[in-house]
Structure 1
Amino acid sequence: MKLKNQATISGFLLLGLTDDPELQPLIFCLFLVIYLVTILGNLLIILTVSSDSHLHIPMYFFLSSLSFTDICISTTTIPKMLVNIQAQDQSITYTGCLTQSTCVLTFAGCESCLLAVMAYDRYVAICQPLRYQVILTPDFCILLVLLSLLLSTGHALLHTLMALRLSFCTNVEIPLFFCELAQIFKLACSDTFVNTLMIYSAANMFFGFPIAGIIVSYSKIASSVFRMSSLRGRYKAFSTCGSHLSVVSLFYGPAFVVYFSPAVTDSSTKNAVASVMYIMIPQMMNPFIYGLRNREIKIALRHLITEKPFLFLCH
């Protein structure tokens, strides 16, 4: 089989969800709506938190960071798919593909770390409430977010640099709507053992530690809550964690199905559909989860929508 190395390969083909031309307009409209809802919803969360001084606490700072990350993930993947559908061209350049996969790894890794940081925030708030402001100082919160971004960027660049050494066959079809590094490795004709070993080892470590942190945090939270004598106190404590647990389940659940379910990994169609569930749906649903379940967010959002425009017009 003829090989093409990284110097001569022109690009890849993103097959998307289906090759049926009659379904392409429907998919275009669906993904456009998903993208617009994701961007507007997360921007609204950021604006709400930044405009209300009562929300200038670590919990909502981390929520704003999560919303920004969701915007970045969606912008990395969906617009390219929409352009390809509109132009009826499935191609993406070699450089563009590696850049996209790097960005996906970076922001997905950052989101994973932020979810662990938010779990730690809830642990401190419930188990050590008197030390909350002492532990989670503004500088420390900023450091946690920057550290999450730095670690995820280093993790993504490591895999991308390792991918540069690969040679590719004439078959350059990726059965997804975005460039995923694991799918790129499957197209390589050169030995990918080291790349595959690294990506699974790093993924187990990079995503395993945040998951372990979330589990430990909520184990301690549950232990602390069950020791409370007041039922109202228990309900209030659990209600502050409900939104975060929903987001965690929505983010990690589909990702585990994609990477660890043989029924999905063996089917390109199921893999493409499942990838939508972890690269699009959580990012779109996060603002609704926090907006609908969090009383403080709803009050601040109502204030932003009703009073802020009126004040602007008066000026």
Structure 2
Amino acid sequence: MSNEEQDTRASGSVPNAFGNVLAWTWMPNMPASLKRSNLHTLLYTLRAIANADGTLRYRDTRRPFSLQAIAKAAGADPKDARDRLEAAVRAGVVKAVGERRKGRSVLYVLAPIPAPDWAAAAAYLDGVKALREDARQKRKTERKVAPWADEKGGRSPELESTEKGGPPPELEGIDRDSERGTAPYPRKGDRPLTGWGDRPPYTPGGYPWGSHDGAEVVPQPQVVAAPEEPSDHQEHPHDTAPPPARAAPPKSDPADHTTWPTCPVCDRRIMPDPRRPDRRVHARCEPRLTAERTAS
């Protein structure tokens, strides 16, 4: 044991008197709330690290112990150590020497008085605990309430941009009373058709353009115009007029379903396929059309 430790533990030193009065007088009379706050643990730590004259500062530099150093020695959080030090000051068992300013270490001195004011220390710690509990409840409430809602409730904000989410755009030039678009088949079992339009197989991720690759192309029957009646000014009555040129089928517009071709078997619209612009019969209707032509 060094000479400095012997001086601290000597019978006439301040830490020795502080430890005796803490163990034999203060602890039996200390309120239970202060014991639950571990005030006595901090007081025992101060007694162990204090100098022989009761001051809490380094022996070599004579600088006061910082709050972080005291909290580390007591194994406590710096905030809790600060609150317990203030409670000890209010009880009178620790003295703060000099001006107390933020960011500057305060010199604390042990004061082994016979009758501390434990009520003042308990009132201070209870007030600090209540303030922290109110702040915690306020933060909890702010996390639950949406930022746009007021005290009496409110509605969610309107989205200014529909880039991510929002209602679908309104398409112009669509007849609401005409035939509808396509709908997917159910994944299991069969069901009766409940609307207009063809129903391609259900394939998540988009329209199955490649589902009809193996189907045979059946040309759409063309209506041949009747021969024109010969006019009076024709020189050769036996000569007939040349047949009119076959009109090309109208080009289908994917955005306008009224331009889509009609299947001759099911009499429903056929969604245009960029890879097969000449398709005029549904793939599922081609076997039926072939059977009808074979039977006829």
Identify the TM-score tier after normalising by the shorter chain: under 0.3
Structure number having the greater helix percentage: 1
TM-score by length of 2: 0.23
TM-score by length of 1: 0.22
Q: Indicate the structure (1 or 2) with the bigger Cα radius of gyration.
A: 2
Q: Which has the higher contact order (CA 8 A, sep 6+)?
A: 1
